[in-house]
């Protein structure tokens, strides 16, 4: 059997072994390779930087554990950025297969780093809701219709972040039939998604697209998306059509955002260098290694293929 | 435990084995149980049961929603399985109606608007400057988008005019799919990096006191 | 005295989604041929209301809190909640049968059932005990959260991470420059893979004199990759998005009008 034939018939478990080594070695021996930033990530970062303290933003966990290594660093980076800027954050999860647990974990992790932030006033976790598009349609008119309570079961009208106020209600009649009794009711100052400065959706799959094509299109709320790398290519079309304010594409996008955070906020740079949590930057060395291996495999595969084809033509 | 499950699943790479299949079955069961928990606690309780319990006068009509949802489960009752069609048509037709508006308003119109661009402003000062100039970007956007759309027009056979344009569309698609493959590699590998990072830093290192 | 809140929107929804289905069920029990037709009428209303509400600013249709459309959105959040665990009944039936009859693979079916019942049971307990399914006020996890953290998350994450290996194997075996189009795809893929990560810096790492050159080439590769994504990729994606969206819109009209009924298990003749 010639080398070409042996190469073409190689047992795939050898390929698996090379992949495993290409990922494991950079994790054991971090190289600290540089991370360059791209326009879409810089645009997202600068948009958040342009917001003022007290502005309110929405963070949606639209991914599950299957893409957590990519999306967790993005969502946590965004949350840290918002807390540094003293923005108010509303968190929710619309992805059924694990979004809620990831939202709970990430919020708990970042909240511990910012002990001055108070739940209910500075940030709120609304939990998970079924029916993504129906939920988004309701957010456009009345958030409480979709999320009557937060993740703990507290009515959102009791959360200071939504600026509730008790207002008197007058009797209302139609054709002398009373349809509304006099009394008082709680009205919320923050009532619709249109009042939010931005929605950041860390997404896998279609839910991220729904925020862009439904919430941005119908209610005008700016959107920043943190998709997995698998779905990132299609969002370039939405960036160019002006439907997105920015994008963090995959783990590289998360690493870029961490770089930008580190440059702007030295204490976050120190945090990212010292933390044992998994971050996007930590994964980039292994990404470079595996890309090198896969490019090598593609090259070898094509060389073997061309040599085999040349041999067939000769013979 | 998480580390053992990780290793059990990774053992599939060597060979399909009972440990992997056990982990896989457990995963399937736990995922379905997860759905039950989140749906009951996060959707049905706050959006259906609590409003009916606390303010029935205002929310009485949510009973209709509950019934429609319950109808979906009639498919498992042999003789009255057809009742599930009421829940199913409501669910499917509603979301398709929302999709209709979302697709037209949020995808077709903005993407078409994006191709209505003036093709001017070419910068010939250098190679990179030329390809990054507004005129070139606009030209690529228009030519690329419409050649791809012409390729996808299968209602009529391509003729001498549309065939080369469709071929150009295929080339744009190949660039896009190649780029998508590159990104897919990044995405899939990131998951593996996450798991191995967990195994090494959260399991092995603490065992060795590192 | 209790006073139910009535408004035009709710009354219309009661008629369309309450009375019509009930009448349809009664008629369906008497005349089987009506079991196919009446659900399609309900479906038509469910599909047309969200579309019309965008264009017709009438109070009964789109007024906040009172209109048919806002209220229907709330109904469908609840129906989606019922729909999500729908497959569970089927899974329990199949796997219980497998375990009960001692069929091949029954231990795995048992493992599935145990996982489902435990996790589902913790979820039900959390929902109805008031504990919730996340963390307790003390910071300790509820049983549901504990199982999520130590069973669900690691299992799901690892099963999907297997894809990296199979993708590498597939790239070696199937990624061939057989013709012009395949070559373009290959070149684009390699350029993007090289440009998105510090690949050249990684390859030059053992050779310090090459670091400045590698850094400069990396920057150039990065800009090239960004151009590929921003220009040709974006244009092609726009074409795909427009084409797919128009197809989906056409399918939506067919479903709403009842022309397309395959989702109900009905063919063209039914």
With an 8 Å Cβ cutoff, are B196 and A24 in contact? yes
In this structure, the answer to whether residues A80 and A161 fall within a common structural domain is: yes
In this structure, the answer to whether residues B131 and B210 fall within a common structural domain is: yes
In this structure, the answer to whether residues B210 and B131 fall within a common structural domain is: yes
The answer to whether C240 contacts chain A (CB < 8 Å) is yes
Mean pLDDT of the A156-177 span: 81
Q: B interface mutation test: which of A133, A219, A234, A293 has the most B CBs within 10 A? A: A133
In this structure, the answer to whether residues A72 and A98 fall within a common structural domain is: yes
Which domain CATH number covers A197? 3.40.50
User: Tokens for A188?
Assistant: 């919320």
In this structure, the answer to whether residues B31 and B49 fall within a common structural domain is: yes
Q: Length of chain B, please?
A: 210
Three-state SS string over C244-256 comes to: HHHHHHHHHHHHH
End-to-end CA distance of chain A: 16
The answer to whether C174 contacts chain B (CB < 8 Å) is no
Taking the CA of residue C141 and the nearest CA in chain A, the distance in Å comes to 11
The answer to whether C237 contacts chain B (CB < 8 Å) is yes
In this structure, the answer to whether residues B110 and B137 fall within a common structural domain is: no
Pairing of β A223-227 and β A246-247: parallel
Chain C hits for B45, CB-CB cut-off 8 Å, are: 127
The answer to whether C261 contacts chain B (CB < 8 Å) is no
Count of structural domains within chain A: 2
pLDDT digits (tens, 9 = 90+) for B127-166: 888 888 889 889 999 999 999 999 998 777 888 888 899 9
From the list A8, A78, A224, B176, the residue with the least C-alpha distance to C235 is B176
- Give the residue carrying structure tokens 């199937």: C174
Mean pLDDT of the B103-119 span: 93
Nearest to B97 among C35, C132, C252 (CB): C252
Residue B103 lies in a domain: yes
Nearest chain B residue to A249 by CA distance is: B183
> What proportion of chain A, given as a percentage, has pLDDT over 70?
94
In this structure, the answer to whether residues A89 and A224 fall within a common structural domain is: yes
From the list A42, A30, A67, A60, the residue with the least C-alpha distance to A257 is A42
In this structure, the answer to whether residues A120 and A168 fall within a common structural domain is: yes
Q: A interface mutation test: which of B29, B31, B39, B42 has the most A CBs within 10 A? A: B42
With an 8 Å Cβ cutoff, are C157 and B195 in contact? yes
Is it the case that residue A37 has pLDDT exceeding 70? yes
pLDDT at position B183 is 93
By CB atoms closer than 10 A (0-12, 13-18, 19+), residue B32 is buried
Helices C153-174, B162-197: inter-axial angle, 10-degree rounding? 130
How would residue A176 be classed by pLDDT, with cut points 50, 70 and 90? low
pLDDT digits (tens, 9 = 90+) for B38-54: 999 999 999 999 999 99
Given a contact cutoff of 8 angstroms between Cβ atoms, the answer to whether C60 and C49 are in contact is no
With an 8 Å Cβ cutoff, are A294 and C176 in contact? no
Cα dihedral value A135, A137, A142, A143, nearest 10: 30
pLDDT at position C2 is 55
Taking the CA of residue B130 and the nearest CA in chain A, the distance in Å comes to 18
In this structure, the answer to whether residues B93 and B150 fall within a common structural domain is: no
Q: What is the DSSP string of B116-154?
A: ---------S-HHHHHTSHHHHHHHHHHHHHHHHHHT--
Phi, psi dihedral angles at A61 (to 5 degrees): -90, 95
Nearest chain C residue to A192 by CA distance is: C64
Buried/exposed B105-128: b ≥16 CB within 10 Å, e otherwise: bbbbebbeebbeeeeeeeeeeeee
pLDDT at position C189 is 92
Is it the case that residue C269 has pLDDT exceeding 70? no
Q: What angle do CA A227, A231, A235 make, to 5 degrees?
A: 75
Q: What angle do CA C233, C235, C236 make, to 5 degrees?
A: 65
Taking the CA of residue A268 and the nearest CA in chain C, the distance in Å comes to 23
Chain B hits for A180, CB-CB cut-off 8 Å, are: none
With an 8 Å Cβ cutoff, are B105 and A286 in contact? no
In this structure, the answer to whether residues A304 and A157 fall within a common structural domain is: no
Is it the case that residue A162 has pLDDT exceeding 90? yes
Instruction: Count, in order, helices (H) and strands (E) of chain A.
Output: 13, 10
pLDDT at position A174 is 62
Q: What angle do CA A293, A35, C191 make, to 5 degrees?
A: 45
Mean pLDDT of the B113-127 span: 88
Nearest to B193 among A69, A97, A232 (CB): A69
In this structure, the answer to whether residues B68 and B53 fall within a common structural domain is: no
Residue B119 lies in a domain: no
Mean pLDDT of the A6-22 span: 80
Given a contact cutoff of 8 angstroms between Cβ atoms, the answer to whether C151 and B5 are in contact is yes
Chain C hits for A98, CB-CB cut-off 8 Å, are: 148, 152-153, 156
E-strand ranges in chain A read 56-62, 88-93, 123-128, 164-169, 172-174, 177-180, 183-188, 198-203, 223-227, 246-247
How would residue C110 be classed by pLDDT, with cut points 50, 70 and 90? very high
Nearest chain B residue to A280 by CA distance is: B190
How many CB atoms sit inside 10 A of residue C33's CB?
Answer: 9
How would residue C25 be classed by pLDDT, with cut points 50, 70 and 90? very high
Query: CA A68 to CA A65: how far, in whole Å?
Result: 5
Query: CA C50 to CA A137: how far, in whole Å?
Result: 10
pLDDT at position C62 is 84
With an 8 Å Cβ cutoff, are C73 and A240 in contact? no
In this structure, the answer to whether residues B209 and B142 fall within a common structural domain is: yes
User: Tokens for C9?
Assistant: 């929107």
Mean pLDDT of the A181-187 span: 76
Taking the CA of residue C11 and the nearest CA in chain B, the distance in Å comes to 9
Query: CA C196 to CA C226: how far, in whole Å?
Result: 8
Given a contact cutoff of 8 angstroms between Cβ atoms, the answer to whether C148 and A101 are in contact is yes
Taking the CA of residue B210 and the nearest CA in chain A, the distance in Å comes to 12
Q: C interface mutation test: which of A141, A209, A254, A255 has the most C CBs within 10 A? A: A141
Chain C hits for B198, CB-CB cut-off 8 Å, are: 154
Chain centre distance of CA C250: 21
Query: CA A191 to CA A157: how far, in whole Å?
Result: 10
Query: CA B82 to CA C265: how far, in whole Å?
Result: 10
In this structure, the answer to whether residues A233 and A292 fall within a common structural domain is: no
The answer to whether C210 contacts chain A (CB < 8 Å) is no
The answer to whether C213 contacts chain B (CB < 8 Å) is no
In this structure, the answer to whether residues A241 and A296 fall within a common structural domain is: no
Residues 108-147 on A with a CB inside 8 Å of C are: 108, 127, 129-131, 134-135, 137-138, 141-142, 145-146
Question: Whole-number mean pLDDT of chain C?
Answer: 88
pLDDT digits (tens, 9 = 90+) for A253-302: 999 999 999 999 998 988 888 887 888 888 898 999 999 888 888 888 88
In this structure, the answer to whether residues A310 and A210 fall within a common structural domain is: no
In this structure, the answer to whether residues B210 and B137 fall within a common structural domain is: yes
By CB atoms closer than 10 A (0-12, 13-18, 19+), residue B156 is exposed
pLDDT digits (tens, 9 = 90+) for C67-106: 899 999 999 999 999 998 888 988 999 999 999 988 888 8
In this structure, the answer to whether residues B86 and B152 fall within a common structural domain is: no
Given a contact cutoff of 8 angstroms between Cβ atoms, the answer to whether A236 and B145 are in contact is no
Taking the CA of residue C59 and the nearest CA in chain B, the distance in Å comes to 18
In this structure, the answer to whether residues A101 and A232 fall within a common structural domain is: yes
pLDDT at position A179 is 60
The answer to whether A308 contacts chain C (CB < 8 Å) is no
Residue B40 lies in a domain: yes
Query: CA A246 to CA A28: how far, in whole Å?
Result: 33
Q: How many CB pairs under 8 A join B and C?
A: 432
Pairing of β A164-169 and β A123-128: unpaired
**Residue A212: domain span:** 35-278
Segments in chain A forming alpha helices (H)? 3-8, 12-28, 39-49, 68-84, 99-113, 132-139, 143-146, 207-210, 217-219, 232-240, 250-264, 266-274, 280-314
In this structure, the answer to whether residues A68 and A194 fall within a common structural domain is: yes
Is it the case that residue C268 has pLDDT exceeding 60? no
Phi, psi dihedral angles at A311 (to 5 degrees): -65, -40
Given a contact cutoff of 8 angstroms between Cβ atoms, the answer to whether C9 and C67 are in contact is yes
With an 8 Å Cβ cutoff, are C88 and B32 in contact? yes
In this structure, the answer to whether residues A198 and A68 fall within a common structural domain is: yes
The answer to whether B46 contacts chain A (CB < 8 Å) is yes
User: Tokens for A38?
Assistant: 């791209």
Is it the case that residue B4 has pLDDT exceeding 80? no
Nearest chain A residue to C6 by CA distance is: A179
- ipTM of the complex as predicted: 0.89
**Residue B1: domain span:** 1-60
> What proportion of chain C, given as a percentage, has pLDDT over 70?
97
Residue C203 or C176, more confident:
C203
Residues 284-303 on A with a CB inside 8 Å of C are: 284-285, 287-295, 297-298, 300-302
In this structure, the answer to whether residues B2 and B54 fall within a common structural domain is: yes
Q: A interface mutation test: which of B41, B61, B106, B179 has the most A CBs within 10 A? A: B106
pLDDT at position C26 is 93
With an 8 Å Cβ cutoff, are A128 and B46 in contact? no
Radius of gyration (C-alpha) of chain A in whole angstroms: 25
Residues 6+ apart with CB under 8 A from B64: C13, C14, C17, C18, C75
User: Tokens for A57?
Assistant: 């933003």
Query: CA A16 to CA A5: how far, in whole Å?
Result: 19
Residues 55-74 on C with a CB inside 8 Å of A are: 64-65, 69-70, 73-74
Count of structural domains within chain B: 3
Is it the case that residue A251 has pLDDT exceeding 70? yes
pLDDT at position A19 is 87
With an 8 Å Cβ cutoff, are C42 and B1 in contact? no
Is it the case that residue C171 has pLDDT exceeding 60? yes
Nearest chain B residue to C119 by CA distance is: B33
Taking the CA of residue B197 and the nearest CA in chain A, the distance in Å comes to 7
Nearest to A23 among B38, B183, B196 (CB): B196
Sign of CA dihedral A45, A46, A48, A49: positive
Query: CA B55 to CA B48: how far, in whole Å?
Result: 11
Q: C interface mutation test: which of A68, A100, A108, A131 has the most C CBs within 10 A? A: A131
The domain boundary, picked from B92, B114, B136, lies at B114
Q: Which residues pair with A168 in a beta bridge?
A: A184
pLDDT at position A178 is 62
With an 8 Å Cβ cutoff, are C242 and B112 in contact? yes
Is it the case that residue C1 has pLDDT exceeding 50? no
How would residue C266 be classed by pLDDT, with cut points 50, 70 and 90? low
Taking the CA of residue B190 and the nearest CA in chain C, the distance in Å comes to 8
In this structure, the answer to whether residues A78 and A180 fall within a common structural domain is: yes
């Amino acid at each position: 059997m010639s080398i070409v034939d042996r190469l073409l018939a190689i047992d795939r478990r050898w390929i698996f072994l090379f992949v495993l080594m290409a990922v494991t070695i950079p994790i054991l021996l971090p190289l600290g390779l540089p991370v360059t930033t791209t326009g879409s990530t810089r645009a997202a970062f600068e948009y958040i930087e342009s917001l003022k303290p007290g502005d309110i933003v929405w963070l949606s966990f639209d991914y599950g554990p299957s893409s957590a290594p990519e999306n967790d660093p993005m969502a946590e980076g965004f949350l840290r950025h918002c807390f540094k800027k003293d923005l108010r954050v509303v968190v929710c999860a619309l992805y059924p297969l694990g979004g809620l647990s990831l939202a709970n974990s990430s919020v708990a992790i970042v909240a511990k780093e910012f002990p001055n932030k108070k739940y209910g006033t500075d940030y709120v976790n609304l939990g998970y809701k079924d029916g993504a598009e129906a939920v988004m349609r309701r957010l456009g008119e009345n958030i409480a219709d979709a999320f009557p309570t937060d993740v703990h079961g507290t009515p959102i009208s009791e959360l200071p972040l939504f600026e509730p106020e008790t207002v008197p209600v007058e009797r209302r009649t139609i054709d002398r039939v009373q349809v509304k009794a006099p009394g008082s009711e709680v009205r919320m100052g923050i009532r619709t998604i249109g009042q939010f400065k931005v929605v950041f959706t860390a997404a896998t799959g279609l839910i991220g697209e729904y925020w862009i094509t439904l919430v941005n299109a119908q209610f005008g709320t700016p959107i920043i998306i943190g998709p997995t790398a698998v779905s990132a290519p299609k969002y370039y079309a939405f960036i160019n059509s002006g439907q997105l304010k920015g994008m963090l594409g995959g783990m590289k996008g998360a690493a870029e955002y961490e770089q930008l955070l580190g440059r702007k906020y030295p204490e976050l740079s120190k945090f990212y260098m010292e933390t044992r949590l998994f971050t996007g930057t930590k994964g980039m060395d292994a990404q470079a290694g595996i890309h090198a291996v896969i490019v090598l495999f593609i090259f070898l595969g094509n060389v073997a293929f061309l040599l085999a084809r040349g041999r067939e033509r000769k013979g | 435990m998480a580390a053992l499950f990780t290793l059990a699943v990774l053992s599939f790479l060597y060979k399909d084995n009972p440990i992997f299949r056990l982990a896989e079955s457990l995963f399937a069961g736990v995922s379905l149980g997860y759905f039950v928990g989140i749906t009951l606690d996060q959707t049905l309780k706050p959006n259906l049961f609590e409003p009916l319990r606390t303010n029935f006068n205002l929310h009485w009509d949510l009973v209709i929603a509950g019934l429609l949802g319950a109808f979906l489960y009639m498919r498992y009752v042999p003789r009255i399985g057809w009742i599930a069609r009421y829940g199913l048509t409501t669910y499917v037709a509603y979301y398709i109606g929302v999709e209709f508006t979302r697709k037209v308003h949020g995808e077709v119109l903005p993407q078409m608007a994006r191709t209505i661009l003036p093709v001017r402003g070419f910068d010939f000062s250098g190679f990179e400057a030329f390809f990054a100039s507004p005129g070139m970007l606009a030209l690529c956007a228009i030519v690329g988008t419409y050649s791809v759309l012409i390729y996808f027009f299968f209602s009529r056979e391509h003729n001498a005019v549309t065939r080369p344009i469709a071929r150009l569309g295929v080339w744009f698609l190949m660039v896009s799919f190649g780029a998508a493959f590159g990104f897919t590699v990044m995405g899939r590998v990131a998951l593996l990096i996450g798991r191995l990072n967990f195994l090494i830093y959260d399991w092995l290192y603490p065992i060795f006191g590192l | 005295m209790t006073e139910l809140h009535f408004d035009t929107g709710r009354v219309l929804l009661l008629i369309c989604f309450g009375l019509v289905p009930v009448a349809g069920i009664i008629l369906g029990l008497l005349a089987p041929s009506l079991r196919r037709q009446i659900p399609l009428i309900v479906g038509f209303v469910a599909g047309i209301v969200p579309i019309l509400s965008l264009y017709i600013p009438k109070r009964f249709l789109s007024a906040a809190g009172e209109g048919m459309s806002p209220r229907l959105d709330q109904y469908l959040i609840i129906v989606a909640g019922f729909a999500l665990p729908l497959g569970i009944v089927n899974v329990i039936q199949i796997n219980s049968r497998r375990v009960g009859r001692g069929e091949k693979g029954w231990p795995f079916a048992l493992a599935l059932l145990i996982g489902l019942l435990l996790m589902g049971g913790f979820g039900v307990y959390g929902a109805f005990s008031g504990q919730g399914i996340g963390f307790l006020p003390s910071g300790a996890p509820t049983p549901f959260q504990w199982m999520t953290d130590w069973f669900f998350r690691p299992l799901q994450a690892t099963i999907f991470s297997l894809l990296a290996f199979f993708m590498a194997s597939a790239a070696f075996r199937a990624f061939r420059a057989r013709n012009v189009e395949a070559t373009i795809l290959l070149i684009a893929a390699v350029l993007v893979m090289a440009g998105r990560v510090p690949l050249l810096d990684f390859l030059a790492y053992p050779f310090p004199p090459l670091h400045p050159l590698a850094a400069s080439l990396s920057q150039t590769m990065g800009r090239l990759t960004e151009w590929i994504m921003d220009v040709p990729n974006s244009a092609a994606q726009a074409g795909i998005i427009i084409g797919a969206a128009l197809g989906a819109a056409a399918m939506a009209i067919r479903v709403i009008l009842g022309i397309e009924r395959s989702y109900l298990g009905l063919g063209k003749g039914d």
